[in-house]
């Protein structure tokens, strides 16, 4: 896979929304199709940078089902790469829509202890402001639907440091 796929998946992930009156429908459809094609082509061997690119691509409020391919792609990564890649994309996970960040964090917790430990370790080594922001995001999702049940609750960034 070309190294340029990371740039392209981020660009294509900015899916055209229904209220967009500028982008032609053909371009919206092309971008949606290309995004799904790129996500489907992920093997899981792209490393933490591949995970970070996928997380960064989840920009649109309405994905019209395209992000299901991205979620499936995230599940193909080795768990240590998944955890590290999500942590490396901390800046992006804080700025993407809440449903997308919640879904990514849920996928991370479902992957198990290797992914969670890789994420927690990388976030703990990050800038203190990033640590605080990520903790606030996790706490928000724990109080809402994404991380409120079962093994997802209190899995990330625990114990408090």
Does residue 124 belong to any structural domain of this protein? yes
Average pLDDT over residues 129-143: 91
Does residue 147 belong to any structural domain of this protein? yes
What confidence category does residue 47 fall into, taking pLDDT thresholds of 50, 70 and 90? very high
Q: What domain count does the chain have?
A: 1
> Does residue 160 have a pLDDT over 70?
no
The domain in which residue 65 lies consists of 4-152
Does residue 68 belong to any structural domain of this protein? yes
Instruction: Give pLDDT, residue 1.
Output: 58
Does residue 64 belong to any structural domain of this protein? yes
105 within 8 A of 85, measured Cβ to Cβ: no
Does residue 145 belong to any structural domain of this protein? yes
Does residue 159 belong to any structural domain of this protein? no
Instruction: Give pLDDT, residue 161.
Output: 41
> Does residue 88 have a pLDDT over 60?
yes
Does residue 101 belong to any structural domain of this protein? yes
pLDDT digits (tens, 9 = 90+) for 62-80: 998 999 999 999 999 999 9
146-154 contacts at long range (C-beta below 8 A, 24 or more positions apart)? 146/99, 146/102, 146/103, 146/105, 146/106, 147/102, 147/105, 147/106, 147/109, 151/109, 151/110, 152/105, 152/106, 152/109, 152/110
């Amino acid at each position: 896979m070309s190294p340029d796929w990371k740039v392209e998946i981020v660009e294509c992930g900015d899916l055209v929304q229904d209220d967009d009156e500028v982008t032609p429908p053909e371009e919206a459809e092309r971008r949606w199709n290309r995004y799904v094609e790129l996500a489907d082509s992920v093997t899981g061997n792209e490393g933490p940078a591949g995970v970070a690119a996928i997380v960064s691509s989840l920009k649109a409020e309405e994905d019209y089902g395209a992000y299901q391919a991205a979620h499936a792609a995230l599940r193909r990564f080795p768990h240590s790469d998944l955890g590290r890649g999500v942590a490396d994309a901390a800046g992006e996970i804080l700025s993407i829509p809440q449903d997308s960040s919640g879904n990514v964090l849920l996928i991370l917790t479902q992957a198990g202890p290797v992914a969670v430990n890789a994420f927690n370790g990388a976030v703990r080594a990050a800038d203190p402001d990033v640590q605080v922001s990520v903790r606030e995001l996790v706490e928000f999702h724990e109080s809402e639907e994404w991380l409120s049940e079962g093994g997802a609750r209190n899995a990330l960034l625990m114990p408090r440091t």
